[in-house]
Structures are given as structure tokens and as C-alpha cells.
Structure 1
């Protein structure tokens, strides 16, 4: 079962979080053939990303979510073709986030392309990270896309949380969309839940299918039922 994700923007990140970014980047840079010479310090890039993840408009998409996704990737690492590429994609996947905009994933992918190229990652690896970031727009990893499956499963793992953590997740998402009227939010959120429940499977890696699928579907179904009930009550009122 996934660990709860604290939702407060002020949630203090793991003191070693910066080291996790540096370790993933350095492992990949060292693996590139012919790597050598001076390379940019990874820590300023980590600090820039952490500042983005701590922006005040965030309530769910915070450093707590980043930390949870990284931990889930560690759990699923055996299924990835290159876990460190997936870890870098996690760092960038919501690095640009404005709840009132629809191009967050694309802008996050472009940030990854600029930053990782500057940081000395190879072109092929940088393109793969950017592809993975863009994949989180739909979470529709193709069959055989091992990196994509791990990132998408890790990002959606919150759906399989226990009751208290899932309730906190719902509240945080609603806070992020506080500018949307209740009726419009219920309709939009219900449409998202219906699309998810219509999928043949929410998760793709064997571990996630076994451990998370049933609980996630239960949570989504319960949330959808609640939204429909609130909508009916609002219409009667």
C-alpha cells in the first residue's frame, strides 16, 4: 500500500532529497560513453526544481508528492529499463505547474530538455526524460514501455492510498482548483474519474497491479459516488 502523501506546501522535504537528484544525474552522466571533463554541479539544478515544487499555488503537487513518487519508483525500479531516467522524469514531471493552465506537462518537458542538456546529460537520455514527462499528460504508457509504466504507476499510486490519505488527497486537489465553482469542479472531476474507471487497468507493472489496482478502483468509485450525490443534492437545493 502506498505511503500517505502529506499535502501541505510547507511539508519539509527529505534532507537527502537534493542528493537523490544528484545521484541519478551523476549515474547517468557517468554511464555515457566518453564522459569526462568538468560537468556542471547538479545541486543548483536540484535547488531550482525544489523551489518550483514549493510554489504557493500548490496544494497536492508539492515536494511531498515528488518525494512519494520517487519512493514509489524505488519500489518499482526492477520493472524499469533505466530507473535513473525515470527518477529524473519524476523530478521534472510537475516542475511547471499552474492549475489554471493546460500546458503544464509540455512546459515541464521543455524545462527538462533545457536543464538536462545544460547539465551534461546526453541528447538521447535527455529526450527520453522529456518523453516520459510528456507521457504524464495521459498516463497511457504503451505495451513494452517499461520506463513509462513505472513513472505512470508511481505517479498514480496515490489513488491506492488508505482512507485518510485519500481524503487528504481529494481535499488538496480541491484546494488547488479553488478558483473553480463547486458545480463545475464536480463535473470536471467526475469526468476524470469516469475516464480512469473506464480503463481496462489503472496500473501496468506487476507489483502495482497486484498491490494497488483494487484499492484504487474502490477509492475512485467511492469518490465518484460522493460527487454525484453532492451534485444531486445541489440540484435539489
Structure 2
């Protein structure tokens, strides 16, 4: 589904099948890197499923799709500029297929928004960042698998370094008035997300 959707997306911009395959292979290679345990193609698939539900509310579906495929294309647990690097690569690749400057800039802003997940004046961005956080509001078994996979991605760090950092992240979300900006995702996931976050925090 992910490959087919990406291929269809690019047909508007290029009829070069070879280039399309090169761009998809790059995405696939990065998201299947052996060091990744959560930021994988499965994460993209979940995002796509969540966003498809609210597709009628999204103003620019093409931009959302480009953001989906490129928002985590660069991901190194030891780096703090993953979003910036991902946005840079997205811009480079989209320029190669002559995507409009407007879509490119919008996509970059959406990618950068996943760094902090703050409320945006752009509703599409809020839908995207909410979908990106939807894992927080899944059932406990799914959430538990998520945070264990995140821990694997940060395996380079011992517990005495990782745990305080993770606690900071959890407390950040728990201190928010609303984790989810859109009413749809708020009503669907907020309560369960708060419960999951607190339960993980209590376990550390």
C-alpha cells in the first residue's frame, strides 16, 4: 500500500519510472534500517491509516502524503536535528520532480512541526502531528510495544541516562492541556494516551 500510494503520488510530477523507483527505494531503505524499531514503515502505515480516516478534513492531501513519507526519513537516536535533516532531504527530492515551491515549503513546515508537536494555525499540520502521536492513545499492549521499541532505538544509552530523558518527555506530554490539537483525535485518543503515559512513567 505504501509503495503503491507513493508511486501514484509521483505520477503527477514525473513519468520516469526509474526515478520513482529510486526515490521509493531510498525511503524503504531508510525506514527499514536495522537500527530502527519504531520509526519504521509500520509507523508510516499506521499514519496513513489514521490520516485516511480524516481525509475529507485535510485541505492538501498531496502535501500530507509527501510529509508522511519524508518526516522521519532521517532518524538517528543520537542526533537532535533529525527533523531539519528530513525536511532538507524532502525539499531536495521534491525539487527533483518539480513539485511546486508552495507544496515544498508547506511540507517542510509540517515535518519541522513533528519536532515539538505544538498547536499550529494550519489545520492540516495539526491533523498530521496528531496522527503522528496517535500511537500514544492505542491500547496498552500496543503502547507498551511502542515504548519498548523506542527504548531499543536508544539502546546506546544506559538506563541511568535514558530514563531521566524519557521521564522528561513523558512529563512534557502529561503537562499539556491537550496532547491532541484536533477534536477528532482528542476525542479518540486523549484519555487513553494520558493513562498510557502515566503508566509508563510509573514504571521508570
- TM-score normalized with structure 2 length: 0.94
Please name the residue that 1:10 is paired with.
none
1:26 Cα offset (Å): 3.7
1:120 Cα offset (Å): 2.0
Higher Rg: 1
Give the number of equivalent residue pairs.
Answer: 202
Please name the residue that 2:22 is paired with.
44
CA contact 1:39–1:120 (8 Å) conserved in 2: no
Pick one of 65, 83, 92 that aligns with 1:87. 65
1:39 Cα offset (Å): 4.7
Q: Which has the higher contact order (CA 8 A, sep 6+)?
A: 1
Correspondence 1:209 to 2:194: no
Correspondence 1:180 to 2:157: yes
Alignment of 1:32-181 (within 5 A): 39-41=15-17, 42-142=20-120, 144-181=121-158
1:212 partner SS? helix
2-side partners of 1:24 and 1:80: how far apart? Answer: 16
CA contact 1:18–1:47 (8 Å) conserved in 2: no
1:84 Cα offset (Å): 2.2
Correspondence 1:223 to 2:194: no
1:141 Cα offset (Å): 3.1
2-side partners of 1:52 and 1:100: how far apart? Answer: 16
- TM-score normalized with structure 1 length: 0.81
1:70 Cα offset (Å): 1.3
1-side partners of 2:11 and 2:118: how far apart? Answer: 29
Judge which range, 75-84 or 113-122, deviates more. 75-84
Unaligned runs of 5+ in 2: none
1:48 Cα offset (Å): 1.2
- What is the RMSD computed on CA atoms of the aligned residues? 1.4
Please name the residue that 2:4 is paired with.
19
CA contact 1:25–1:88 (8 Å) conserved in 2: no
Unaligned runs of 5+ in 1: 1-15, 30-37, 228-237
2-side partners of 1:22 and 1:146: how far apart? Answer: 26
1:168 Cα offset (Å): 0.6
1:83 Cα offset (Å): 2.1
Any idea what the Cα deviations from partners look like across 1:135-171, whole Å, max 9, x if unmatched?
A: 11111132x3111111101100000111111111111
1-side partners of 2:186 and 2:104: how far apart? Answer: 29
